[in-house]
Structure 1
Amino acid sequence: MSLQSGPKRRLSSLRSPDAVLGLSLVALATVFLLYTIPLSAEAAAWPWAVLALLLGLGVAIAVRGLRAARARADSSEAPESSTEWSRATLSRPAWTIVIVTAYVGLLSLVGFFPATALYLVAHLWFGGVRDWRVFTGVTVVLSGLVYLLFVAQLSVPLPTGLLFG
């Protein structure tokens, strides 16, 4: 039986990154659902489906995180486990945000294909890939598929950027 109860136990549950992530996704989905209210039912169908999925997954992640935190609180597990907040826990999402932000910034400067190639290499490097053949293969295949589908088949103009446009 746990010695913790009430507010102290609830606060220890919020130390779980999964619980915070799940609750954040629920809040984000709820805010965006409010933005879809003025849309017609036809226009809102896709956003509602995506946001309902995000809401459901957020609830599932939050419940899983809260259950894991409760189980840790009930057991004699050390509080410095890998499921608690730490510098390593925060650094991976932070670097992902930096890489994605740089990608978005580069889109208008160099265009879609060069920015995407740099993004893929950066993300693969961050993920631990060090083989240039993997960098080349992933970049060429994905860029080729995007070109064939969006540019050649669907005639969607992709950003060319200030340098190449």
Structure 2
Amino acid sequence: MYGSVYRIRVPLGTDSIVVCDPKALSHLFALDTWKYSHPPLALLQITMLTGPGNLLVSLGESHNRHRKILNPLFAPAALKRYTSVMYDSAYKLSTAWESELQASATNEIMPDISEWINNLSFDIIGLAAFSTDFKSLDGEKSAVATALTAVGHAKPSPITSKIFLLAQAFPVLFELPLPRSTL
């Protein structure tokens, strides 16, 4: 009746529901997201990453108020202003790829473009949202990019991994000043 939806056991005897049905996911994420709350542990983790009181962790009326404020920023008329920023960045990426392919002797396919796409996204967000050119596509690393990369690539120690597993049942453990959370 509900498609691919099932319950799994997670650490320390708690349950988690996994939804794989496209129609159910569409309903959850596109239509009525404010009706469904995140598990308390997920809210705590998001709050630790992004800070309290933002759209990602707000629920109910607070979430509606946040969305009402932000919706005009994503209306088609507002997004048209950023078309030139996106086009210019995509052109810069295309030019960089062409020069890299011409520099290679074998004209082989580029093996990993994820770094390029990350840089493209970072430059577009910097220009459109903050009027700052991070110049990631030019190979420069800004302080913001360096900090975000450090957080993304930080490897948890074995002790931190065990504390993370225990924190599934005892969320207060997330408040410990571990190196990764401090970073």
Question: Could you tell me the TM-score, scaled by structure 1's length?
Answer: 0.33
Greater percentage in strand? 2
Larger relative contact order, structure 1 or 2 (CA cutoff 8 Å, min sep 6): 1
The structure with the largest helix share of the pair is 1
Name the TM-score, length of structure 2 as normaliser: 0.30
